[in-house]
Structure 1
Amino acid sequence: MAPNFTNDEASLFKFVVKEGKGVKGLVDSGLTQVPARYIQPPHHRINKEHVAGSLENMTIDLSELDGPNHEQVAKAIAHAAETLGFFQVVNHGVPVELLESLKVAAHKFFAQPPEKKAMYLKGVSPSPMVKYGTSFVPEKENALEWKDYVSMTYTNDADAIDFWPSECKEVALEYIKTSTEMVKKLLQALIRKLGVNVDESRVDELIGLRMVNMNFYPTCPNPDLTVGVGRHSDMGTLTVLLQDGIGGLYVKKEDENASVENEEWVEIPPIHGALVINIGDTLQILSNGRYKSAEHRVRTTSVESRVSVPIFNAPMPGVKIGPLAELVARDGVARYRDVLFEDYMNNFFGKSHDGKKSLDFAAST
Structure 2
Amino acid sequence: MVVHAKPAALDQISLVRSAEPGGGAASSSLFPGVPAVDLSGPGAAAAVVDACERFGFFKVAHHGVPARVVDRLESEAAAFFAKPQAEKDASGPANPLGYGSKRIGRNGDTGWLEYLLLAVDHHQAAAAVSKASPVPSSSLRSVVLCWIRPPVRSTQPLFYLLKILACGVCREAVSEYVGAVRGVAARVLEAVAEGLGVAPRDALSGMVSGAASDGVFRVNHYPPCPLLQRLPDSCSVTGFGEHTDPQLVSVLRSNGTPGLQLALRDGRWVPVPPDRDAFFVIVGDSLEVLTNGRLKSVRHRVVANSLKPRVSMIYFAGPAPEQRIAPLPELLGHGEQGAYREFTWGDYKKAAYRSRLGDNRLDPFRRRV
Class of the TM-score when normalised by the shorter of the 2 chains: 0.7 to 0.9
In structure 2, the CA distance between the partners of 1:201 and 1:47, relative to structure 1 (3 Å rule), is closer
Aligned to 2:47: 76
Pair 201,62 (structure 1): closer, same or farther in 2 beyond 3 Å? closer
Matched, 1:212 2:249: no
Per the normalisation by structure 2, the TM-score is 0.78
- 1:216 touches 1:306 (CA, 8 Å); kept in 2? yes
Structure 2: distance between partners of 1:55 and 1:351: 33
Taking a change above 3 Å as real, the CA distance of residues 62 and 271 of structure 1, as seen in their structure-2 partners, is same
Q: Which runs of 5+ in 1 are unaligned?
A: 1-22, 28-33, 256-262
Taking the aligned partners of 2:242 and 2:331, their CA distance within structure 1 comes to: 29
Q: For structure 1, which segment, 165-174 or 77-86, has the greater mean C-alpha deviation from structure 2 after superposition?
A: 165-174
Q: Which residue of 2 aligns with 1:20?
A: none
Give the corresponding residue for 1:26: 8
Does 2:281 align with 1:277? yes
Cα deviation per residue 1:21-69 (whole Å; 9 max; x = unaligned)? xx92436xxxxxx43x1133742899665456413551122232xxxx1
Equivalent pairs, count: 317
Asked if 2 retains the 8 angstrom alpha-carbon contact of 1:74 and 1:193, the reply is yes
- The DSSP-based 3-state class of the residue aligned with 2:6 is helix
Distance 2:22 2:332 in 1: 38
Contact 2:341 2:366 in 1 (8 A): yes
Q: Is the 8 A contact 1:321 1:338 kept in 2?
A: yes
**Higher helix residue share:** 1
Per the normalisation by structure 1, the TM-score is 0.78
SS of 2:238's equivalent in the other structure is coil
Per-residue CA deviations over 1:148-191 (Å, capped at 9, x if unaligned) read 11111113151269757432422211111122222212101102
* Aligned residue in 1 for 2:361: 358
RMSD: 2.7
Distance 1:364 1:48 in 2: 31
- SS of the residue corresponding to residue 15 of structure 2 reads coil
Measure, in 1, the Cα distance between the counterparts of 2:292 and 2:334: 10
Q: Distance in 2 between matches of 1:286 and 1:150?
A: 29
Give the match for residue 343 of structure 1. Answer: 347
**Maintained 8 Å contact 2:104/2:111:** no
Shift in CA distance, 236/330, structure 1 to aligned 2, threshold 3 Å = farther
Task: List aligned pairs for 1:53-202, cutoff 5 A.
Answer: 53-64=30-41, 69=42, 72-122=43-93, 130-135=97-102, 137=104, 139-141=106-108, 144-154=110-120, 155=122, 156=147, 157-159=158-160, 163=164, 165-198=167-200, 200=202
With 48-57 and 95-104 compared, the bigger mean Cα shift is at 48-57
**How much has 1:130 moved relative to structure 2?**
4.2
> 1:203 maps to what in 2?
205
Deviations 1:259-304 (A, max 9, x none): xxxx312222122321111111010000000001111000101102
User: In the aligned structure 2, how far is the partner of 1:135 from the partner of 1:343?
Assistant: 27
Query: Which structure's residues are more often strand, by fraction?
Result: 2
Identity %: 27
**Cα 1:300–1:44 shift into 2, 3 Å:** farther
SS in 1 for 2:320: coil
Name the CA distance, whole Å, in 1 between partners of 2:331 and 2:260.
Answer: 32
Q: Distance in 1 between matches of 2:249 and 2:65?
A: 16
Letter in 1 for 2:319: P
Q: Distance in 2 between matches of 1:172 and 1:292?
A: 29
- The answer to whether the Cα contact below 8 Å between 1:229 and 1:298 also exists between their aligned partners in 2 is yes
CA distance in 1, matches of 2:27, 2:238: 15
Aligned to 1:159, the other structure's residue is in SS state strand
